Chains A and B, each alone.
Chain A
Amino acid sequence: MIELEGLTKRYGDKTAVDQLSFQVRPGMVTGFLGPNGAGKSTTMRMMIGLDNPTGGSVRIDGKHYRDLAEPLKYIGALLDAKAMHGGRSAYNNLLCLAQSNRIPTSRVSEVLDTVGLAPVAKKKSKGFSLGMGQRLGIASALLGNPEILMFDEPVNGLDPEGIHWIRNLMKRLASEGRTIFVSSHLMSEMALTADHLIVIGQGKLLADTSMADFIQQNSRSYVRLRSPQQERLRDIITEAGITAVSVGDGSIEVDSATSEQLGELAAGHQIVLHELSPQRASLEEAFMQMTAGSVEYHAHSDDSEAADPGLPPAPRWGQGSTKKNKGA
């Protein structure tokens, strides 16, 4: 169990994390979602005592991180895959971590085996690919067999097989009753792994909800209809006691009926349909809508400058923002 209370981090006059309070509970995967620069990494660094909060506190099973005698046995974290000495072998990198927390040496080979790095255990870690580095970081998080695990963007740099592997690993660890806290900026990724969702934007808490509730609330499903006899079609639907809304592009959207019902209704009145399609707003859209007001770096589309309207506009980083959020 991780508890955050009013956690705040300011860099000069910029607030990276703003009065964040939430709990991460055991036995499930909690997704930590937010756009780039929302303060996810800063929050996670404060959770394991690397950064000092400007205000508020984080407690791990009721204790401050710095009061944990052998913290790797409580909480394992993958924050930065490259946070290992490249000149040291994978085995030795883990060995010195194990020794510092009095973790049996045999665990080193065990976790290397778990993450599939056993064949390269004696190789220097600087020769590792991003995916291998990520696996080594995950191995270091698993080293103390902790009840709490934290992963910052774990799928970054992994190939599809690796992504599949880490998803299953997180689910398995959660099913063992552990607390799993994983950050991502991809809603689609979270939808596949997380049971609970915490969304932040510009350091503020935007949502703290179960995944099921989030999906139900945010994925509106409706049917879209287009017809040359649009006026009549709408009247008929309304007469049947169903709410229909005309939208700008000459189509009608209906929330409370299935496409089968509407198709039969139209056929019964001999109305020609050009379109009858069930629609579902994606979670990605819901997430973008939720964080729209708090995205730090917008990609602006500027029609007057767009040379080729067929291409999406290139993102222009830092526009309208004075300072890059440190390390976020």
Chain B
Amino acid sequence: MASVPAVLTSEWTKIRTVASTIWTLLIALVVTVAMSAGLCALMKSNFSDLSEKDKLTFDPTAISMSGMVLGQLAMIVFGVLVVGNEYSSGMIRTSLAAVPQRTTFLLSKIAVAGVLALVVGQITAFCSFFLGQALLGDHRTTLGSENVLRAVAGGGLYMGLIGIFAMGVASILRSSMLSLGILMPLFFLVSPILNSVSQTQKIAQYLPDQAGQKITQVVTDTSSDVSYGPWAGLAILVGWVVLFVIGALILLRKRDA
């Protein structure tokens, strides 16, 4: 069988030798941190205008990571391109001729790209948190407060897992364009819309992004009646990721390249 460390090294070389990797990950970080910082600064200057109820449920941790809503899209692009590039360039045939053990091939690729996405996710989450808290001034919280560390580290996990989810989707669809065409509107429009209407929220709460984002909340949002906690939410996201990666593996083994 193929040497796993050799395949991992090869996949790392593939990732670091294309420009799209650096750009998408950098954009994920910058967009998340910038948008979170902007919202934190805005919140600080308008805090006195909030209603009593909003003041009580104010979640300084969640708002300092709210930029993830936008930043995750860059993470999705990263995940899609890592896998989709193989198909759009035709490289997949060369790659599979070099590593015909297809499970080893795809798992190595996802492992390398996934670890990178998780690391960048964590850096993004912590940068976003610290800059946000600094801008919130008197309303800030600290990592030592209850559940805050869980929320910040969880936010990093969320970013990474969304990237891995995108890798699974792109591998199943074998096309970057098609994958982005489905994932972008789903995460940017469909999911938030469904989640804001109470009738559809029961279903929308189980979508990967809605479930996964619960981990970033420290103060429970009383306006929505979500039936699970932060860790259960992350578990739902992990479930989605596992489902799509297994689906991708089964299809890759069966299909002609």
Chain A residues contacting B98 (CB-CB under 8 Å) are 71-72, 97, 100-101
Stretch in A28-36, A42-50, A223-231 with 4+ CB within 8 Å of B: A42-50
Name which residue of chain A comes closest to B20, CB basis.
A87
Chain A residues contacting B3 (CB-CB under 8 Å) are 69-70, 102
Q: B257 touching A66 by the CB < 8 A rule?
A: no
A100 to B101, CA, bound (A): 11
A23: min CB distance to chain B, Å = 21
Any A CB within 8 A of the CB of B239? no
Name which residue of chain B comes closest to A327, CB basis.
B256
Extra A-B contacts (15), CB below 8 Å, given A86-B89, A96-B14: A45-B257, A50-B96, A69-B3, A72-B97, A77-B97, A83-B89, A83-B92, A84-B91, A85-B85, A88-B14, A88-B18, A89-B17, A96-B13, A100-B99, A140-B94
A101 to B96, CA, bound (A): 12
Q: A80 touching B90 by the CB < 8 A rule?
A: yes
Q: A49 touching B100 by the CB < 8 A rule?
A: yes
Any A CB within 8 A of the CB of B50? no
Any A CB within 8 A of the CB of B9? yes
Q: B257 touching A50 by the CB < 8 A rule?
A: yes
A93 to B86, CA, bound (A): 12
Name which residue of chain B comes closest to A137, CB basis.
B94
Q: Which secondary structure dominates where chain A touches chain B?
A: loop
A58: min CB distance to chain B, Å = 12
Chain A residues contacting B20 (CB-CB under 8 Å) are 87
Chain B residues contacting A85 (CB-CB under 8 Å) are 14, 18, 85-86, 89, 91
Any A CB within 8 A of the CB of B203? no
A70 to B2, CA, bound (A): 6
Any A CB within 8 A of the CB of B1? yes
A65 to B221, CA, bound (A): 56
A130: min CB distance to chain B, Å = 14
Name which residue of chain A comes closest to B101, CB basis.
A66
Chain A residues contacting B18 (CB-CB under 8 Å) are 85, 87-88
Q: A99 touching B13 by the CB < 8 A rule?
A: yes
B96: min CB distance to chain A, Å = 6
Any A CB within 8 A of the CB of B245? no
Q: B100 touching A65 by the CB < 8 A rule?
A: yes
Q: List 10 A-B contacts (CB under 8 A).
A: A45-B256, A50-B97, A70-B3, A72-B97, A79-B97, A80-B90, A95-B17, A97-B98, A99-B13, A100-B98
Chain A residues contacting B89 (CB-CB under 8 Å) are 82-86
**Interface residue ranges, B against A (CB under 8 Å):** 1-3, 6-7, 9-11, 13-14, 17-20, 85-86, 89-101, 254, 256-257
B170: min CB distance to chain A, Å = 15
Contact with B along A59-81 (1 / 0, CB 8 A): 00000011011111000010110
Q: B10 touching A96 by the CB < 8 A rule?
A: yes
A49 to B64, CA, bound (A): 50
Any B CB within 8 A of the CB of A52? yes
A328: min CB distance to chain B, Å = 13
Name which residue of chain B comes closest to A66, CB basis.
B100
Any B CB within 8 A of the CB of A92? yes
A127: min CB distance to chain B, Å = 14
Chain A residues contacting B85 (CB-CB under 8 Å) are 85, 87
Q: B94 touching A97 by the CB < 8 A rule?
A: yes
Name which residue of chain B comes closest to A65, CB basis.
B100
Any B CB within 8 A of the CB of A260? no
Q: A100 touching B7 by the CB < 8 A rule?
A: yes
Among candidates B11, B90, B96, residue contacting A84 with C-beta atoms closer than 8 Å: B90
A86 to B88, CA, bound (A): 10
Any B CB within 8 A of the CB of A275? no
Chain B residues contacting A99 (CB-CB under 8 Å) are 6, 9-10, 13
Q: B19 touching A87 by the CB < 8 A rule?
A: yes
Q: Given that A50-B257, A65-B100 are contacting pairs, would A100 and B10 also be in contact in the complex, using a CB cutoff of 8 Å?
A: yes
Name which residue of chain A comes closest to B7, CB basis.
A100
B168: min CB distance to chain A, Å = 21
Q: A83 touching B91 by the CB < 8 A rule?
A: yes
Chain B residues contacting A84 (CB-CB under 8 Å) are 89-91, 94
B175: min CB distance to chain A, Å = 15
A84: min CB distance to chain B, Å = 6
Q: B90 touching A82 by the CB < 8 A rule?
A: yes
Q: A83 touching B90 by the CB < 8 A rule?
A: yes
Chain B residues contacting A82 (CB-CB under 8 Å) are 89-90
A140 to B1, CA, bound (A): 21
Chain A residues contacting B9 (CB-CB under 8 Å) are 99-100
Chain B residues contacting A69 (CB-CB under 8 Å) are 1-3
Name which residue of chain A comes closest to B94, CB basis.
A83
Q: Given that A45-B256, A50-B93, A71-B97 are contacting pairs, would A100 and B2 also be in contact in the complex, using a CB cutoff of 8 Å?
A: yes
Any B CB within 8 A of the CB of A285? no
Chain B residues contacting A159 (CB-CB under 8 Å) are none
Q: Given that A86-B89, A87-B18 are contacting pairs, would A102 and B97 also be in contact in the complex, using a CB cutoff of 8 Å?
A: no
Chain A residues contacting B92 (CB-CB under 8 Å) are 83
Chain B residues contacting A86 (CB-CB under 8 Å) are 89
